[in-house]
Structure 1
Amino acid sequence: MIHSLKVTALGVLFGVSFSSCAVGPDYVAPQAELEASFKNAGFSEPPPEGSWWSLFQDPELSRLINAANTKGQGVRSELARYDQARAALGLARADASPAVTADAFAVKQQDSQNANFSFGTYNEYRAALNLSWEIDLWGRVRRGIKAAEANMQAAEYDYQGLILSLRGEITRAYVSLRFADAEIDLLEKTLQLRTEARRLMKARFDGGASSRIDFKRAETEEESVRAELAQIRAQRDRFENALAVLTGRSASGFHIAATGKTPTIPTPPSAVPSDLLRRRPDLAANERRLAYASETIGVTIANYLPQVSLTGIGGFRSLSSSDLFNPQSKVWTLGPEVFFPVFQGGRAFSDTDSAKAAYREALGIYRGSLLTAVQETEDALGDTRYLATASSAREKGASSAQDAATLSRKRYAAGITDYFEVVDSERTALNEQRAALAIGLDRALAATRLIQALGGGWTR
């Protein structure tokens, strides 16, 4: 027994003395150089406080996003993948601890009569504990734990990325629906005017005060608006159905009532620091996968080096059940076990080369995603900036076109001009108003893209 304790102490000391030795590279996160701010940032209005979707100041949008947090498309499956990665980390950590198992059996057996030793038919009983503990000489277990941690963190960022993407999709569909409502409202009012104009032209034509061509032009404009109204209503239904799916609902029983107003369009602050990109879930996930690939190199190298384990068995063994737990029935073994791969046919070099190539691939993916993130942010900033200017111009143009249409109707009523001028000016006014709404929608969508590009808003 004293000898066994010496072996145990030597094994532990041997493991501790090499505990700081770990083959393979130590991971260092890449330090990408980013500009202090983005070139397209040139605003002066500070951002409102709160969660980023509250920037649109729409309670219905907030309700939809909160509903999607647990029931949204893909949320449960992505969360399950995170749970799998977390369980894998638990398994990796378990490898660092001694494994103790218990076994017990009671058998009746017959030895061969033609063997060197034969006891005939007899019973055998055993109850024992089994110990196995790998001494982590080369850091295989430790690097395996770090790799599992990185993989779990990547899965967590994937989950956060899904949530961010889901909220962005809901926001885009919702603001598109609200601007469709605004366009429907505009076309309904226009249709009322066109219907009244057609009735007036019919009465004037019947009374001989107007030509048939003026009546047909009025009728054409009315039907044209009616057709466009039907198209926008169909588009609005598609946005509503998309919101149902995104929030985990059936499209058949899902409905969002019109409110008569469009969401507030967020305006970015005067300066957007580029280091906000580092919180993007997709970038963070790719960086964690890079760490996983780095740690895997060390694990791969260690797999082809000698592995030392401390093994032992302690328990009782007897040919009689009544003597099983008798002190004379004790059995035990304790000592190191060495596994040494002698010849692998070049497998170790090929496996290591593969792990290193996987690391270079992960590094390329990370760098590419960083460049894409900067591009997406610059694009969204540029769109937000220039669309604000375009929106102001469109609003002025729509107002001027509406004034021109009013003057044309007065000129026609006074007999100064023909109805063609009225039709042309009213069509121009309608197109300008619809274009102003389209620009407003583009601004809202650009703001949403910017929010997503910065990982969820523009505040730290």
Structure 2
Amino acid sequence: MINLPRKAACYTALAALPTLAALLLGGCRIGPKYTVPPATAQAPPASYKESPTQFTDTDTNSNAWKVAQPGDAMLRGKWWEIYNEPELNTLEEQLNINNQNIKQFFENFMAARTLITQARAQLYPTASVGPTYSRSRSSANTSNTGTTGTSGGKETSLTELPLDVSWEPDLWGKVRNTIREQQYSAQLSAADLENERLTEQASLAEYFFELRGQDALVQIYDETIAADKKSLDYTQAQYDTGVGDRISVVEAQNTLQNAQAAAINLGVARAQYEHAIAMLIGTPASGFSIPVRPLLKTAPAIPIGVPSQLLERRPDIAASERTMASANAQIGVATAAFYPTLTLSASGGFESSTFKHLLDWPSRFWSIGPSVSETVFDAGLRRATVNQYISTYNADVAGYRQTILTAFQQVEDYLAAVRILQQQIQQQELAMKSAQEFVDLEMSRYQTGIDPYVDVVTAQTTLLTDRQTLATLHVQQMTASVQLIAALGGGWDASQLPTPAQVSKKLTKAETQITK
């Protein structure tokens, strides 16, 4: 051992203090370093398989549904405005404010942020005070001589004003890994919030177009009923004048009655869509209504981008990736249990038998000292815990990749649906024109006595069916376009996900108020 002069030893000790403080405050962070694993075994293709640009037959058809050009900007923010429907825009704005599911996910996000503060508090010492006062009287029969006392025991008072401080330095990064875990979990909650918001917005748009489709069907049936009434009036006049027969009148009556019954049934679906919209915008269904307005539109050109952009566009993919990051941090937390724990504690204060001397200098007391603890045997508990979190992380990796595969499947599904439905709409429009001509020809043949009225009924039924089918196809294409936008991530992208620093900010007063 080298003996240093006393003054030199003091200087050496002082010089070592910054190093010791850095060790205690910073320590080291153990556990695996997190990197985002590959999304899929193969790189995403240059374009979507089901994009209309991949099919020459649709490229040459000027009436075919198209996607926006690759140079066009991706959807941002209020994606529903692409449909140019002011009424839908108003409903979506109400949804963003009053939807209770979105509010629930928002409060879950607020709760997740508070866990970061709770975790960070473990980096700092804890201090506690516990003032006490006691007055006691000893027994008169507890003298050292063993004789029975003849007078009362001694009365004493004790007043204490202690301060206890304890600190466990984060030497191995357990607390810092916990903070990271909670930050990633808060980001996960933020992504879940955006995914729920997108889901609710898409549901509202789908219900809106479904409701307008019901209004269009009502219009079709109203026109059909009006035509059927004219046919009934004609057959009745023919029968009254002795030119026609009774069976034609009955057939005309039956056709009209069936159309009227079917038209009444349309009110069921429309009412349900209207009630669903009321629920989404946070309004009681009993006091909400939407005026009838028939609407059949063709899906607008949607900017779909390239497949590689999908990973940055979907909030559910971001949530899945943050789940992996959180699980990785958990491994570090569990690994820290293999290392010793250092606890620094100190206590001090004032103690006196009389209150007036409590704060006198001789009344002070103190104690200070570190302690180190290390688990020497746990029957494999720590190793099993680490292995548990490793398996959880591996499962999250598989879930992340499955989410991405599902995202690509959904985009391809809805691209195909919108594209193929457009082709079917074009064919159905031709079929409807033929059915209308069929009705006109059969009515002429019936009026001239060539064909029986049953042939007119067949033609009218064919026309009604074709018109219904065409309206349904338009609605299916519009809802498929909404689903396509949702599958592409709506107006969201990964740059909108709050950073760890942003989710770590202290909540505002408004964010911590109890809902009235």
Q: State the TM-score, normalizing by the size of structure 2.
A: 0.82
Query: What secondary structure is seen at the aligned counterpart in 1 of 2:167?
Result: strand
Equivalent of 2:32 in 19, 25, 28: 25
Residues 42, 434 of structure 1: alpha-carbon distance in 2 compared, 3 angstrom cutoff: same
| CA-to-aligned-CA distance 1:236-276 (integer Å, 9 cap, x gap) | 11111111122222121111111233456232237444323
Alignment partner of 1:302 is 2:336: yes
Correspondences of 1:54-453 after superposition (within 5 Å): 54-109=81-136, 121-262=155-296, 265-269=299-303, 271-453=305-487
Could you list the per-position Cα deviations for residues 212-251 of structure 1 after superposition, in whole angstroms to 9, with x for gaps in the alignment?
Answer: 2211211111111112111211111111111112222212
Given that 2:313 and 2:492 are in contact with CA atoms closer than 8 Å, whether structure 1 keeps it comes out as: no
Deviates more, 1:86-95 or 1:419-428: 419-428
Which residue type is aligned with residue 92 of structure 1? A
* Higher mean C-alpha deviation, range 180-189 or range 74-83: 74-83
Q: 1:290-346 CA distances to partner (integer Å, 9 max, x unpaired)?
A: 111110011012134211122222432222211221122223333322222222222
Q: Between the two proteins, what is the percent identity of the paired residues?
A: 30
Deviates more, 1:76-85 or 1:288-297: 76-85
Q: Distance in 1 between matches of 2:352 and 2:97?
A: 58
Amino acid at match of 1:16: A
8 Å CA contact 2:314–2:493 kept in 1: the answer is no
Q: Distance in 1 between matches of 2:323 and 2:492?
A: 26
Superimposed CA distance per residue, residues 346-392 of structure 1 (whole angstroms, 9 cap, x where no aligned partner) = 21111111111111121121111111111111101111111111111
Q: How has the CA–CA distance of structure 1 residues 348 and 120 changed in structure 2, closer, same or farther, with 3 Å as cutoff?
A: farther
Measure the CA separation in 2 of the matches of 1:404 and 1:144: 74
Answer whether contact 1:401 1:432 (CA < 8 A) is retained: yes
| Matched residue, 1:34 | 44
The whole-number CA distance in structure 2 between the counterparts of 1:84 and 1:223 is: 59
User: Helix, strand or coil: the match of 2:445?
Assistant: helix
Between 1:407-416 and 1:106-115, the stretch displaced more is: 106-115
Q: Any conservation in 2 of the 1:391–1:439 contact (CA below 8 Å)?
A: yes
| SS in structure 2 of the partner of residue 26 of structure 1 | coil
Q: Find the residue that maps to 2:172 and give its secondary structure.
A: coil
Superposed CA deviations along residues 279-299 of structure 1, whole A, max 9, x for unmatched, are 312111111111111100110
**Distance in 1 (alpha carbons) for counterparts of 2:493 and 2:124:** 43
Is the CA contact 2:298–2:474 (under 8 Å) kept in the aligned structure 1? no
Is the 8 Å Cα contact of residues 105 and 127 (structure 1) preserved in structure 2? yes
* RMSD (Å) for aligned C-alpha atoms: 2.9
Once the two structures are superposed, residues 28-77 of structure 1 have per-residue CA deviations (whole angstroms, 9 ceiling, x without a partner) of: 11232433331112254537976211122212212222112232142222
Tell whether the 8 Å contact from 2:44 to 2:307 is kept in structure 1 after alignment.
no
Cα distance 1:75–1:438, how it changes in 2: closer, same or farther (>3 A)? same
Distance in 2 between residues matched to 1:315 and 1:12, nearest whole Å: 28
Q: Is the 8 A contact 1:272 1:458 kept in 2?
A: no
Q: Structure 1 residues 366 and 270, CA, compared in 2 at 3 Å: closer, same or farther?
A: closer
Partners of 1:114 and 1:74 lie apart in 2 by: 71
Q: Which residues of structure 2 form unaligned runs of 5+? A: 1-8, 54-65, 145-152, 495-516
**Structure 2: distance between partners of 1:458 and 1:344:** 48
**Could you say if the C-alpha distance between residues 107 and 8 of structure 1 is closer, same or farther in structure 2, counting changes exceeding 3 Å?**
farther
1:135 counterpart SS class: coil
In structure 1, runs of 5+ residues without a counterpart are none
TM-score (norm 1): 0.91
Q: Write the letter of the residue equivalent to 2:172.
A: W
Q: Which moved more, 1:19-28 or 1:167-176?
A: 19-28
SS at 1:337 equivalent: strand
